[in-house]
Structure 1
Amino acid sequence: MSENCIKREPNVSKKKIFVSLLFVPGFYLMVLFTTGLIVFVGSGLIFIIHYFVGKFLGELGFAYFGLILLDALPFFGMIFGVVSCFIAIISMFFKNKQFEPAILINPHDHPKLRDLISELSVKMDSQMPDAIILHVKSKFFVSEGKINVFNGTAKGRILAISYPLLHVLTVNELRAIIAHELSHFTGRDLVFHRFVFPVYKGANKYLEYITSLFNHNGRRRPIFISIPMILPKVLMEYYLKIFHKYNMKISREMEYRADYIASKMCGKENFKEALSKLISHGNVFNRLIDEQMTEKIVHGFQFENYFSFYREHVETYKKQIEESLGKALRDHEVEYATHPTLKNRIVNLPNVDSIYDNNEEALDLINSFDYIEVSMTKYYNYYLNDNAIHF
């Protein structure tokens, strides 16, 4: 492998990971603080109501009854706020099972794909994935845990491969994408995602509960019910903004590192082309599969094999694919995005030549792909029906 690269490998330091992990106990402290604040503000409001009603209307006979009614509003607001805090915290410990529209495959049934992944795993000093799934959409990722798919449950270290992109990627390009994904296993990425992201999701759920107390069925609640939650809501929104901004920055740095490793392993041009196809073809395919399959379902028909249909008509969408790539290259960096822009990712790739020369279509790595395509199309038809997707 010839190399004229002077760029240094991006790295997410232990210090940054440690700081991101501090957001986890920080969130729980914020919940305790805002819960106490809800009680404090609610109690203070009740005291103020008592004081002014007793001072100005104390001599009137109906004042006592009116006082009870006024007290009830901030009291219920206070109770709603405290209960919401506990619901949000408890819900964090009962994670919804992750589902992906994909199928679990046996690597031994696809020896070419298995050998490619195995070779990369050895070179990258990474464990071979415990499970491999073929995704219906344009989606590559790695995960650790459990993911429900159409034909079972993927467990352990999971590698997801976008099935529809296999016909536009070469074997060299697919190798580069898989190297990118496997690099997430070799860094601290999964530790970050395992401990920080679930808490971030819980924090957003907590904020949703608090925000819902300001409105009910589209109607604003009485002001005295909402007052105890105003300051806690503002504080939690500010905390989550900092939390999100910092962790998205780390996420983008992890992507730069994975890009760097993939280019070092497989060559800059291979990864650059793979990344461009992943975004340009992926954006178009993801939209079309839902639109076209749903339209068929609405009219009482179904595709037998949508993937072959897309391959046969891909030239029809050439303009859309080019426009998708052009837009991606013009996008500006967003500080709250999980991934850098395509332009920035390409600019930061190291200049490394490839030692691989397999430019065959990556779909050739899959045995009996026609049977797999029919099965995935059938599964996805059911999925669209069950989820009642409307466009």
Structure 2
Amino acid sequence: MVLRPPRLFERTILAIALIVSFYAFVLIVSGGLFYISYLIFSWAHNGLLLAKVGLPCIAIGGTILWSAIPRFGRFLPPGLRLTQEKHPKLFEQIASVAQAVNQRPPKEVYLIPNVNAWVGERGGIMGIGSRRIMGIGMPLLQTLSVSEFRAVLAHEFGHYYGGDTKLTPWIYKTRTSIARTIQSLEEGILHIVFQVYGKLFLRITHAISRYQEYVADEVAARVESAQALASGLQKIHAASLAYNPFWQNEFLPALNAGYLPPYAEGFKCFMSNDNIHNAMMTSVEKELAATSTSPYDTHPSLRERLQALGSNLILEEEIPAITLLDEIPLVEKELFVALNEEAGKNLQVVHWASIGESVYLPMWKGMEKRYKSILEGIALADIPDIAGAPREFIRKIELVENRQLSVNSGYLYAKQIIAAAISVKLVHKGWCISAMPGEAVKLTNQDNEFEPFKAINDLFEKKITIVAWREMCQQAGIYEMVLGNQ
């Protein structure tokens, strides 16, 4: 049994007062503008005054009133709805933690494509008759152990127990109403007044949000483990840093090409890369060294949360939380069908080992074909000259594109085109593609390996010398190779 936290009542009253005060302020301002218009129309007989003051007052008052009205959108499922019948182990953990926090389990649980977990309420009127929902990120399950995941669940149930899920939607609606009002007003005294009020509202409500996080952390520490939550928070911070590059650079190209490689396994592979892992740990260390939180942050800093928990321990690897899901390949397919039914149904399931041939090679061939006229006859021995003075090569690219490129875009195009052409040529000669998540694209044969995209980038950026380039190509047996002559 978890006791109610101190200051909960005061926090609730403050949040409600802020919300009510904004709408009261809107009514007072718009009502005042309407009243000024009424007086002018009733008593003034000056057409110029009516046109310059009366009508604008009506227009501004109406704009403020319309902008401030809360919008109530239709709930759209954020991912794949999970069921207890298909995933009993996951729901057993949810029910167990809910009981420990003395809260009702959510009516709906969704699997989502984020390193995140959240809770909310949907439906009903003013919170009455609403249903509880929960979102659980599949990458989150891949990142955490079962004990860490239970601590995160307890944190989320802490938001239910603290009443946050009833207050937060209204705070968010009010926040967006303020933003709409500010955006709708032209520069002037009212614009400044609402802007000042909006900043004050953000500072106070974000301070409330940070307090809510502390309370939810305290709940998790009491019913589960401060160590498990601290470990989970650090892993979530690190994984969040890695997720967007994984999604943009590794997973999304496969999706766009109509393929579905193992999602959770790919993210795990990406994070296990030494360079990625070191960058993640460096980010955690920087966050732990941060000394302050912005008044506009919705969450306390990682350092502040760990200090409040009294732990910064990262637990040893235990049972991965992803094992709480059954039939993971099927679940991943169902997830992407739920996110986009038409595209998801047509996704072809492949392993990561096949991504190079399935996804990248067609892209490279298309690039090589498009720029064949400017690639024909270029030997690998000539490429250092192009890298040293690329302007002429970029000009040829611009002629093909029929547009001028910025300096950065020109360099990027040149590097990508040359590396793609080398890759196509090597594949034509029997080399195999390796494009595992987090790893540089490699082409290998029985005796050699070559990383064309990394090598070309290093050459253009002068990270390797002409001599090093020649030795690298000679070692791979490709120095005399000429592009375009298939």
Q: What range is the shorter-chain TM-score in?
A: 0.7 to 0.9
Alignment map for 1:1-391 (pairs within 5 Å): 11-36=6-31, 38=33, 68=48, 72=51, 74=53, 77-90=56-69, 92=70, 94-99=71-76, 101-145=78-122, 156-210=131-185, 214=186, 230-296=188-254, 300-316=257-273, 317-331=276-290, 332-350=292-310, 359-380=318-339
Matched residue count: 331
- Aligned pair in 2 of structure 1 residues 371, 263: CA closer, same or farther (>3 Å)? same
Distance in structure 2 (CA, Å) of the matches to 1:95 and 1:384: 29
Deviations 1:179-235 (A, max 9, x none): 10011111122232144332232222222222xxx3xxxxxxxxxxx6xxx222222
Instruction: Give the whole-Å Cα distance in 2 for the aligned partners of 1:352 and 1:194.
Output: 32
**Conserved 8 A contact 2:155-2:219:** yes
What is the alpha-carbon distance in structure 2 between the residues aligned to residue 267 and residue 357 of structure 1?
14
SS at match of 2:260: coil
| Partner SS for 1:137 | coil
Unpaired segments ≥5 residues, structure 2: 124-129, 345-486
In 1: Cα distance, 2:305 partner to 2:334 partner: 35
CA distance in 1, matches of 2:179, 2:51: 28
Q: Secondary structure in 2 aligned to 1:142?
A: strand
Q: Does the residue aligned with 2:159 lie in a helix, a strand or coil?
A: helix
Please give the per-residue CA displacement for 1:14-35, whole angstroms capped at 9, x wherever unaligned: 1231122112221122112322
CA distance, structure 2, for counterparts of residue 9 and residue 188 of structure 1: 11
The answer (yes or no) to whether the contact 1:38–1:81 under 8 Å persists in 2 is yes
Contact 2:121 2:166 in 1 (8 A): no
Give RMSD over aligned pairs: 3.5
* Structure with the greater alpha carbon radius of gyration: 2
Q: Deviations over 1:247-285 (max 9, x none)?
A: 111111111111112112222221111011111102321
Distance (whole Å) between structure 2 residues aligned to residue 137 and residue 347 of structure 1? 26
Cα deviation code 1:128-147 (max 9, x no counterpart) = 1111111111121110115x
- Tell which deviates more after alignment, 249-258 or 289-298: 289-298
Percent identical pairs in the alignment equals 20
8 Å Cα contact 2:214-2:305 kept in structure 1: yes
Name the SS for the 1:109 alignment partner.
coil
Quote the Cα distance in structure 2 between the aligned partners of 1:133 and 1:345: 27
Partner AA of 1:246 in structure 2: I
Q: Is the 8 A contact 2:242 2:280 kept in 1?
A: yes
Normalising by structure 2, we get a TM-score of: 0.60
Q: Could you give the per-residue CA deviations for residues 297-342 of structure 1, whole angstroms, max 9, x where no partner exists?
A: 66x4543433332223332221332233234324431111111000
Cα distance in structure 2, aligned partners of 1:145 and 1:338: 22
Letter in 2 for 1:303: L
Q: Contact 1:107/1:132 (CA < 8 Å) preserved in 2?
A: no
Distance 1:190 1:167 in 2: 26
**CA–CA distance in 1 between the matches of 2:235 and 2:343?**
26
More displaced stretch, 358-367 vs 30-39? 30-39
* Separation of aligned partners in 2, 1:330 and 1:303: 39
